[in-house]
Amino acid sequence: MAIREIIILPDKQLRLVSKPVDRVTSEVRKLADDMLETMYDAPGIGLAAIQIAVPLRLITMDLAKRDDDETSVARPRVFINPEIVSKSDELSVYEEGCLSIPEYYEAVERPAKVRFRFLDLDGKTREEDAEGLFATCIQHEIDHLNGVLFVDYLSKLKRDRVMKKFTKFARRAAE
Ligand code: NI
């Protein structure tokens, strides 16, 4: 396993539409391992492959392990080619953040429940229901696979402000 570098806004790769995984090979499993290690190290609760500059439809997640609670047990999840099958009319609001937009949090409204389909690490098709933080997280990560970021749901004013801030950071870091 290896920790990979997470790309940060305004990196244009974050806007790419990721390609489906054809077959769950040992390379795909290795990529998932690297993503989990990178996600735990950050630390974060979800990561899409494009965030380590790999444009494949692969997501890792762990909503159980909390870095503020040493007794919590890791429950790593890997979702390959995930897609939403259905969503509730009911909405819920969560304060979202993103490892590619560090230290920035805003409330986003999304369907409160979703059913989604994916391939597991054995290449088997599965379906699962998600609600609460799980529903928000799976929608946030699937958005990444389509080049969509949570800041896209904010008002133009807020989005312009955060884009400008991160563009300035990047310019300063490059100097
Ligand atoms: Ni994100």
Task: Decide if 138 contacts 47 (C-beta within 8 A).
Answer: no
* CA 44 – CA 102 distance, rounded (Å): 10
**One pLDDT digit (tens) per residue for the chain, 175 residues:** 799 999 999 999 999 999 999 999 999 999 999 999 999 999 999 999 999 999 999 999 999 877 677 778 889 999 999 999 999 999 999 999 999 999 999 999 999 999 999 999 999 999 999 999 999 999 999 999 999 999 999 999 999 999 999 999 889 888 8
Q: Tell how far the Cα of 99 is from the centroid of ligand 1, in angstroms.
A: 6
Query: Separation of 46 CA from ligand 1 center, angstroms?
Result: 7
List the catalytic residue out of 96, 103, 141, 175: 141
The pLDDT of residue 21: 98
Calculate how far, in angstroms, residue 167's C-alpha sits from the geometric centre of ligand 1: 17
Residue 43: per-residue pLDDT: 93
Q: Give, as residue ranges, everything with CB less than 5 Å from ion ligand 1.
A: 98
Positions of E strands within the chain: 46-48, 58-61, 77-87, 91-98, 101-111, 113-119, 125-131
**Strand pairing partners for 148?**
none
Backbone angles phi, psi at 89, to 5 degrees: -75, -30
Q: Is 131 a catalytic residue?
A: no
Cα 131 from Cα 147, distance rounded (Å):
23
pTM of the model: 0.95
Ligand 1 center to 48 CA (angstroms): 7
Set out the domains of the chain in order of their start, with CATH numbers: 12-174 (3.90.45.10)
Residue linked to tokens 């819920």: 92
- pLDDT digits 0-9 by tens, 120-164: 999 999 999 999 999 999 999 999 999 999 999 999 999 999 999
Interatomic CA distance for residues 41 and 148, integer angstroms? 24
Residue 167: what pLDDT?
Answer: 94
Is the CB of residue 58 less than 8 Å from the CB of residue 21?
A: yes
The pLDDT value given to residue 26? 97
